[in-house]
């Protein structure tokens, strides 16, 4: 990724980094440091690098910039920092001021903002997947081949229809909640969206899907496009403010983190979005007493997406919810809180590092003996599925709401 070399833009926004006391507590929680052992590949080292660049003490060589670019922004470091350094904010501000995005990268992110274009692209990808021309994939550029490796089978158009604007509660009505369809979720994980509505209605809630909503902006924020992230959050804030809601229930941890942090990006305009947003698993733990599940004798484990565990500080709800299934053996995964290497489009930009990070996680998964792995982030699901296939493990990767919807007792 190209980065501009203006000292003024590099220096701007670096005051937050001064709070770092270089204690090093963050280092053992940093995925890239655990792989490389390099001081410049952990949060403490990257903060020093950003300050040195801004103050003119360090030249922005390709090697220096590559080390900054290799951060996943998993935000694990923030959870242990005694000085409460908001590392994600510092790096995001640095990327916003210094990154230059190529034409095709900008256009690919813009597609996420337009549902009609995204649906059309999904249809083209489905045609490609079913075409004999797919045998020529070896002729594609390397990045496109990597993208295709992660792409799951695109569902037919009939399974990618938008959710109804309103789905009434089943049984006793307890309230009304909103649901975000999202961008990637709406075309590749539309089944998860339907399962979300199914569980919420059986929990006693009317489910509202406001028109005018769209991409949450999480991928834009990852890429340093904070202006784009703010624009998309504002669009969603307007859409969800159209009617009174008890909560906005989020089934993607990346989207949930974006809504959770809306007040940080939008100020007062994002307060309501931040206040109302709640992860679906937490919501069902607190408000899903009416749900009943059929017994299941399987052995499952759960991975903790970084944007759920760290950005939203939700560490217990996923396992609490699973333990409501009679007979289910829930095995906690060693190092479940470590990043899997997906991190938005990180696994496309840094495939070698992403694979190295996932390798240790695959070892942890194998140690559980589980035949089902649950994760609530679409990027993590795709990362896990690809790694499990390459490793040859016999493990199914599902969204937890899909798993629970399969076991829902009418």
- Asked whether the predicted pLDDT for residue 8 surpasses 60, the reply is no
What is the rounded distance in angstroms from the CA atom of residue 39 to the CA atom of residue 36? Answer: 9
Q: Give residue 371's pLDDT.
A: 96
Return mean pLDDT, the chain.
91
β-bridge mates for residue 175, sequence order: 205
The structure tokens 């970084």 sit at 306
| Contact (CB, 8 A) for 301 and 333 | yes
β-bridge mates for residue 166, sequence order: 208
Q: Domain 159-286 is in which class?
A: alpha beta
- Asked whether the predicted pLDDT for residue 13 surpasses 60, the reply is no
- Asked whether the predicted pLDDT for residue 1 surpasses 80, the reply is no
Q: Are strands 175-179 and 247-250 parallel, antiparallel or unpaired?
A: parallel
Confidence of residue 81 (pLDDT cuts 50, 70, 90): very high
The candidate with the shortest Cα–Cα distance to 239, out of 263, 272, 261, 266, is: 272
- Asked whether the predicted pLDDT for residue 399 surpasses 60, the reply is yes
| Contact (CB, 8 A) for 40 and 46 | yes
Query: Strand runs (DSSP E) across 209-340, as ranges?
Result: 247-250, 277-279, 299-302, 329-332
Percent of the chain with pLDDT over 70: 96
* 373: helix, strand or coil: strand
Q: Give residue 321's pLDDT.
A: 96
Average pLDDT over residues 43-50: 94
**Fold of the CATH domain 292-406:** Rossmann fold (3.40.50)
| Contact (CB, 8 A) for 290 and 172 | yes
Give tens-digit pLDDT for 198-250: 999 999 999 999 999 999 999 999 888 899 999 999 999 999 999 899 999 99
Q: Give the architecture-level CATH label for domain 2-100.
A: Orthogonal Bundle (1.10)
- Asked whether the predicted pLDDT for residue 103 surpasses 90, the reply is no
* 177: helix, strand or coil: strand
Average pLDDT over residues 123-136: 89
- Return phi, psi of residue 303, to 5°: -100, 150
Average pLDDT over residues 95-99: 81
Same fold, 159-286 and 292-406: yes
Q: Give residue 14's pLDDT.
A: 65
What is the rounded distance in angstroms from the CA atom of residue 225 to the CA atom of residue 190? Answer: 26
Q: Give residue 34's pLDDT.
A: 96
Name 231's Cβ contacts closer than 8 Å, sequence gap at least 6. Answer: 217
Q: Give residue 10's pLDDT.
A: 45
- Where do the domains of the chain lie? 2-100, 103-154, 159-286, 292-406
The structure tokens 């991190």 sit at 343
Confidence of residue 4 (pLDDT cuts 50, 70, 90): very low
**Cα Rg of the chain, angstroms:** 21
> What distance separates the 2 farthest-apart alpha carbons in the chain?
66
- Return phi, psi of residue 278, to 5°: -150, 140
Q: Distance from CA of residue 168 to its chain's centroid? A: 29
Average pLDDT over residues 377-406: 96
Confidence of residue 279 (pLDDT cuts 50, 70, 90): very high
């Amino acid at each position: 990724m190209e980065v501009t070399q203006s000292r003024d833009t590099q220096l701007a926004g670096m005051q937050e980094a001064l709070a770092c006391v270089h204690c090093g507590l963050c280092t053992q929680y940093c995925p890239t440091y655990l792989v490389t052992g390099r001081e410049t590949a952990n949060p403490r080292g990257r903060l020093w690098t950003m300050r040195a660049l801004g103050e003119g003490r360090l030249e922005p060589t390709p090697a220096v910039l590559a080390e900054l670019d290799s951060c996943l922004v998993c935000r694990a470091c923030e959870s242990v920092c005694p000085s409460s350094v908001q590392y994600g904010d510092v790096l995001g501000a640095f990327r916003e001021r210094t990154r230059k995005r190529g034409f095709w990268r900008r256009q690919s992110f813009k597609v996420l903002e337009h549902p009609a274009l995204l649906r059309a692209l999904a249809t083209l990808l489905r045609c490609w997947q079913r075409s004999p021309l797919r045998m020529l994939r070896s002729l594609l550029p390397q990045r496109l081949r990597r993208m295709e490796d992660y792409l799951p089978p695109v569902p037919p158009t009939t399974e990618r229809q938008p959710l109804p604007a309103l789905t009434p509660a089943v049984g006793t009505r307890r309230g009304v909640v909103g649901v975000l369809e999202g961008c990637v979720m709406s075309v590749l994980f539309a089944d998860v969206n339907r399962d979300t509505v199914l569980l919420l209605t059986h929990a006693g809630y009317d489910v509202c899907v406001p028109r005018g909503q769209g991409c949450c902006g999480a991928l834009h924020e990852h890429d340093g496009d904070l202006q784009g992230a703010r624009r998309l959050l504002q669009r969603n804030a307007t859409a969800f403010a159209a009617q009174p809601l008890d909560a906005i229930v989020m089934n993607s941890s990346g989207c949930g983190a974006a809504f959770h942090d809306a007040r940080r990006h939008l100020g007062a305009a994002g307060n309501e979005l931040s206040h109302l947003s709640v992860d679906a698993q937490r919501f069902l733990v607190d408000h899903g007493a009416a749900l009943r599940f059929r017994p299941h004798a399987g052995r499952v484990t759960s991975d903790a997406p970084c944007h759920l565990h760290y950005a939203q500080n939700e560490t217990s709800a996923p396992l609490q919810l699973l333990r409501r299934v009679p007979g289910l053996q829930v095995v906690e995964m060693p190092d479940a809180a470590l990043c899997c290497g997906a991190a938005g489009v990180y696994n496309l930009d840094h495939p070698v590092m992403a694979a190295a990070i996932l390798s240790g996680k695959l070892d942890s998964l194998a140690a559980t003996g589980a035949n089902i792995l649950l994760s609530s982030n679409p990027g993590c699901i795709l990362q896990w599925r690809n790694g499990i296939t390459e490793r040859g493990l016999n493990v199914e990767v599902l969204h937890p709401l899909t798993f629970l919807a399969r076991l829902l007792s009418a």
